[in-house]
Amino acid sequence: MAWLGPDEWSAVALSLKVAGCATLVTLPLGVFVAYVLARWSFPGKQLLNGIVHLPLILPPVVTGYLLLLTFGTRGPVGGLLQEIGIVFAFRWTGAALAAGVMAFPLMVRAIRLSIEAVDPGLEQAAATLGASRLWVFATVTLPLILPGILTGGILAFAKAMGEFGATITFVSNIPGQTQTLPSAIYAFLQVPGGETSAMRLVLVSVAVAISALMLSEWLARRVANRVAGT
């Protein structure tokens, strides 16, 4: 990566860290919420569905501002978390939070689709063979939705890598702290002579996005074949 300058390299590394953390931390929650939306029926289900999809339809700047209000040092949740030493505002953790929230709907949609494709009859069969609900999920549902989880995870990772509006609103654009790839491209384009750096980061973005897509296709196909036993 010798052709990347130190500022550019730090933006790439930070973006990978932010997107990786955002994806891994939200994945279990994403699977749970997708399962709830796919298989349970309860009053308020549409409300939950709406809240999950909110970041997808709201302007990202609005989501970022709401995060700032909630998780900022003077926000109701941010203030509490600060007491126990967790700070989001103007830290890379905040960037990860913003990326995670923005990527969540995409992740849940992909996983929910794969759960809905699992024949409930298989889960019933497992129950009659002595498996409790938790065991049914662990031994039947989870292995069968693995392709969907992979797709959802990689989609979320790519979305998190590209998150800009909510991130810059929530945690600003501090080089080395919160300056992710898109923020860095934006910053380079604001200064004269920054076009070359911006172009290099654009190429990195494109490469990461395409690799993620190809990796997800390849993994999903492999896992799907293994699951189907063909």
Partner 1 sequence: MSLSVRLTHALAGFDLDIAFDAPPGVTALFGRSGAGKTTIVNAVAGLLRPDAGRVVVGDRVLFDTALGRWLPPHQRRVGYVFQEGRLFPHLSVRQNLAYGRWFARRAPATESQDRVVEMLGIGHLLDRRPAKLSGGEKQRVAIGRALLANPGLILADEPLAALDVARKSEILSYLERVRDEVSVPILYVSHSAAEVARIATTVVVLQDGKVQRQGPATEVFGDPSVLPTGVRAAGAVLQAIVVRHHADGLTEIDAGGARLFLPLIAQSPGREVRVRIAAHEVLLSRGRPEGLSALNILSGTVDQVRAGDGPGAIVSVRTQAGPVLARVTRRSADALGLAHGVPCHAIIKTVSIAPEDISGLV
Among 122, 138, 174, 189, binds partner 1 (CB under 8 A): 122
Among 59, 143, 195, 196, binds partner 1 (CB under 8 A): 143
Query: Please, which residue, 29 or 129, has the CB nearer to partner 1?
Result: 129
Among 6, 44, 121, 192, binds partner 1 (CB under 8 A): 121
Binding of partner 1 at residue 43 (CB under 8 A)?
no
Binding of partner 1 at residue 220 (CB under 8 A)?
no
Binding of partner 1 at residue 41 (CB under 8 A)?
no
Binding of partner 1 at residue 40 (CB under 8 A)?
no
42: its two tokens: 């309860």
3-state per-residue secondary structure call for 91-126: CHHHHHHHHHHHHHHHHHHHHHHHHHCCCHHHHHHH
Q: Tell me the Ramachandran region of residue 175: left when phi exceeds 0, alpha when psi lies from -120 to 50, beta otherwise.
A: beta
Residue tagged 């979320």 (tokens): 156
Binding of partner 1 at residue 138 (CB under 8 A)?
no
Site for partner 1 in 151-180 (CB under 8 A): none
**Separation of alpha carbons 40 and 120, rounded Å:** 12
Q: Which long-range contacts (CB under 8 A, 24 or more apart) does 82-89 make?
A: 88/170, 88/171, 89/170, 89/171
Rounded least distance, CB 225 to partner 1, Å: 10
Binding of partner 1 at residue 128 (CB under 8 A)?
yes
226: its two tokens: 């293994």
Q: Which residues bind partner 1 (CB under 8 A)?
A: 119, 121-122, 124-132, 135-136, 139-140, 143-144, 226-230
